[in-house]
Every structure is written in structure tokens, then in C-alpha cells.
Amino acid sequence: MSQVYSNNSSHSTTSFLTSAPVELTTRKGYEDFINNRKHKDFKLSTVLKPNDGALDGYVLKDGGDVIAIVKGEAMDYLNEIAGNR
């Protein structure tokens, strides 16, 4: 796999990339993401939102900004601990 690096990005592109939500697809990835942010100066909330008979998962920072989207195995794990399965 090749990687391309550039320091010619515009400020708006850089801002978007640092603010775009990450996608959490494994239980370990979800747990690591949450654990690595536990001691920061903000509160995290995980929200399961109904969507056409399924649930979408989101991690919110300070109750508002979506910083992660939960899918796949990580979503199965959240459904399990929420008692949805």
C-alpha cells in the first residue's frame, strides 16, 4: 500500500480532516477510543439512535459534536450491552 503526504493542504481542508468523525468498527477499537479519551476535559456520550428499524451508533463530545460513528462489530457490542439482542 502506498501513502501520499502533502503539506500543501489548505486551512479548510486541514480543519475538516481534524474535525471529521472517525468510524469505529470493532469492539476493541471502540473501547480503545473511549478509554483514550476518559481523562480529557470533556464528557463523552454514546448514543444509539433508531433508524428504519435498526440503530445507528454515535459518540458525542460534550453532548453535541459527533466525534465517532459506530458500525459493525462495535455496534453489535453496544446492542448487546444495551440489552437490544
Report if residue 10 sits inside a domain: no
Q: In terms of residue numbers, what domain contains 34?
A: 21-81
Q: pTM of the predicted model, to two decimals?
A: 0.73
Asked if residue 16 belongs to a domain, the reply is no
Helices 27-35 and 72-81, interaxial angle, to 10°?
Answer: 80
In a domain, 2, yes or no: no
Q: Could you tell me if residue 74 is inside a domain? A: yes
Q: Give the chain's residues under pLDDT 70.
A: 1-18, 85
pLDDT of residue 32: 96
Residue 67 lies in a domain: yes
Q: How many domains does the chain have?
A: 1
Cell 459527533 belongs to: 66
Is residue 59 assigned to a domain? yes
